[in-house]
Amino acid sequence: AAAGDDGARLPHRRFTSVGVVGSGTMARGIAEAVARAGVPVTLVARDETRASAAFDAVDRSLARAEKRGRISECERIAVLGCINATDDRAQLAGSDLLIEAVAEDTDVKHTVLRAMDAVAKPEAVLATVTSSLSVDGCARATNRPSRVLGLHFFNPAPAMRLVELVRTDDTDPDVLAAAHALTAELGKSAVECTDRTGFIVNALLFPFLNQAVRTLERTGLSVGDIDEAVTAGFRHPMGPFALLDSVGLDVSLAILRRLNESVPQPATVPAATLEKLVADGHLGRKTGTGFTLHAAPAPAAV
Ligand code: 3HC
């Protein structure tokens, strides 16, 4: 039977401890989602300040959940007890699964994955949370491509049920089976997909979001009316403009560009207004200005 790269293979692999590298929205959300399932998680940030900011953010998120009566005080404390936030990468050596959740940039991700590969135990699995870069490229940046997969969580990770499990031609079936088991433990739904730009969700979502911007440009309708039409008409939890602001206009533009590079088609040519907002520094929720937030300029003339 085919073994892993160096012969290391567990018959029934299970992830009993998880490492998360990064300290941004996705890293925090994934750490919270994993800890909520009672699985110990080590979050490794670039420095001590970022590590404690990430821990505090999870603490606040859990406090909100407790206030709403979703979890008890005991549960909140137990979940926090499952999280170790540090700037010491060496502490990842005990993790069965190490998840990279750093900036969506090929060089940054490859550098971080190589460092994770160096510290992880031989049988550990490495995952990337990339939403639009090549998982195969990430796998090949390491010395264990058969034990690398994509775990594409959605924002906010503790609340969103879906995880896309992205396999490459090299991904060991045991690794996928263990990833399915973990997502089930997290109470999430897993869908397997291949390493195609945008996987399933973003390949469908971003042409739609782009089309909403074009509709704004061509019709002169208001952002609020289009969002209301989609929330009330399709039962989406958020309208396209609220979602664009939430995802980040810079992130959305980068995803559209990558989708278009991969399969050139009119639907993924970024709408002019999106290009202009990003060029002018309006990035959505993170800057407080975007489509649904104040100071958003009028749509670009098309
Ligand atoms: N952190 C943790 N939990 C959160 C949260 C957060 N930031 N925001 C909401 N939640 C939880 C709440 O605690 C609650 O969970 P519970 O029922 O277990 O307590 C649940 O989410 C519902 O929250 P609320 O009732 O407060 O609020 P809403 O009903 O307005 O839901 C929402 C909030 C879940 C964010 C909802 O608006 C939604 O589903 N929005 C769409 C989000 C979406 O589409 N995300 C995908 C973006 S695309 C992406 O991520 C791909 C990437 O590659 C770009």
- 196-222 tens-digit pLDDT: 999 999 999 999 999 999 999 999 999
CA angle 26, 31, 35 (to 5 degrees): 150
Q: Is the pLDDT of residue 300 over 90?
A: no
Ligand 1 contacts CB of residue 237 (under 6 A): yes
- 56 and 94: one domain? yes
Do 90 and 43 belong together in one domain?
yes
pLDDT tops 80 at residue 5: no
pLDDT band at 78 (very low <50, low <70, confident <90, very high): very high
Catalytic residue among 61, 84, 146, 152: 152
Is 152 in the active site? yes
Q: Are 117 and 140 in contact (CB under 8 A)?
A: no
Give yes or no: residues 33 and 174 share one domain. Answer: yes
Q: Specify if 145 maps to a domain.
A: yes
Do 121 and 225 fall within a single domain? no
Bridge partner residues of 19 (DSSP): 42, 98
> What is the rounded average pLDDT of the residues 148-166?
98
Task: Give the Cα separation of 66 and 160 in Å (integer).
Answer: 18
What does the mean pLDDT of the chain come to? 94
| C-alpha of residue 235 to centroid of ligand 1, in Å | 14
Query: Residue range 95-117: average pLDDT?
Result: 97
- Given a cut of 80, is residue 295 above it in pLDDT? no
The amino acid present at 171, given as its one-letter code, is T
Domains in the chain, number: 2
Has residue 41 been placed in a domain? yes
Nearest CA to ligand 1 atom 28: 237
Whether the per-residue pLDDT at 301 is higher than 70: the answer is: no
208 and 152 fall within a common domain: no
Backbone angles phi, psi at 189, to 5 degrees: -100, 130
Q: How confident is the model at residue 4 (pLDDT cuts 50, 70, 90)?
A: very low
Residues 156 and 27 both lie in one domain: yes
Q: Which amino acid residue places its CA nearest to atom 4 of ligand 1?
A: 159
State in Å: Cα 163 to ligand 1 middle. 14
Q: How far is CA 64 from the centre of its chain?
A: 22
Q: pLDDT at position 7, please?
A: 47
Q: What is the pLDDT of residue 299?
A: 61
Residues 263, 186 share a domain: no
Asked if residue 165 lies in contact with residue 149, where contact means CB atoms within 8 angstroms, the answer is: yes
- 3 pLDDT exceeds 50? no
Active-site residue, from 61, 146, 202, 210: 202
Q: Is residue 299 part of a domain?
A: no
Q: Is the CB of 122 under 6 A from ligand 1?
A: no
Region 154-173: mean pLDDT is: 97
In this structure, the answer to whether residues 75 and 137 fall within a common structural domain is yes
Q: Are residues 177 and 220 in the same domain?
A: no
For residue 181, what are the domain limits?
Answer: 18-194
CATH number assigned to the domain comprising residue 256? 1.10.1040.10
Alpha carbon of 160 to ligand 1 centroid (Å) = 6
Cα(242) to centroid(ligand 1), Å: 12
